[in-house]
Amino acid sequence: MPESKYAGGSANYLVRHLLGVAIAIRGRFGEEIESRGHNLTTAMSHLIVNLPVSGLGMSDLAARLRLTLQRTGQLVGSLEEFGYIERIADENDGRAKRVVFTRRGRKLLRDIDATDIAVTKEIATVLGERRFEHLCRDLEALDRAINGPDDILDL
């Protein structure tokens, strides 16, 4: 495959390909998750992957999602309707609520893990292990340089 004349070039070209790949991966993920009996919007998926198993308070979750508390509440409500998460009393503050996964939500997490393994293998096969590792390292470095540090959650 000939090297692109834009390799290492314009930000517009980079954005085009980053978005193209992200959309394709997200679509592949969505198809697989749907085939396992789940139906999530992109926004719902964003919340799911940013909620640790131990749960989070609403304010912390909103900050993690970089959304308003109101929008976070809407997403939490939608996921509650689907039975993936619930709000429980925070043991440290009786007035506060903590968002946690239900049994169905934990099943979704297992399905996400299995899907992640399959999609990651597909990408690594296309690029080869070494190029895939470099890509992951470079994208993480770029993300952190642009957006600042972000704790990786252990789902």
Domain ranges of the chain: 10-39+102-136, 40-101
> Taking residues 24-40, what's their average pLDDT?
91
Give me the CATH code for the 40-101 domain, please. 1.10.10.10
Q: Give backbone dihedrals phi and psi of 82, rounded to 5 degrees, phi first.
A: -80, -10
Q: Where does the pLDDT of residue 98 fall: very low under 50, low under 70, confident under 90, or very high at 90 and above?
A: very high
- Report the predicted TM-score, pTM, of the whole model to 2 decimal places: 0.75
What is the pLDDT at residue 84?
A: 97
**Residue 68: CB partners within 8 Å, gap ≥ 6?**
62
What is the pLDDT at residue 8?
A: 61
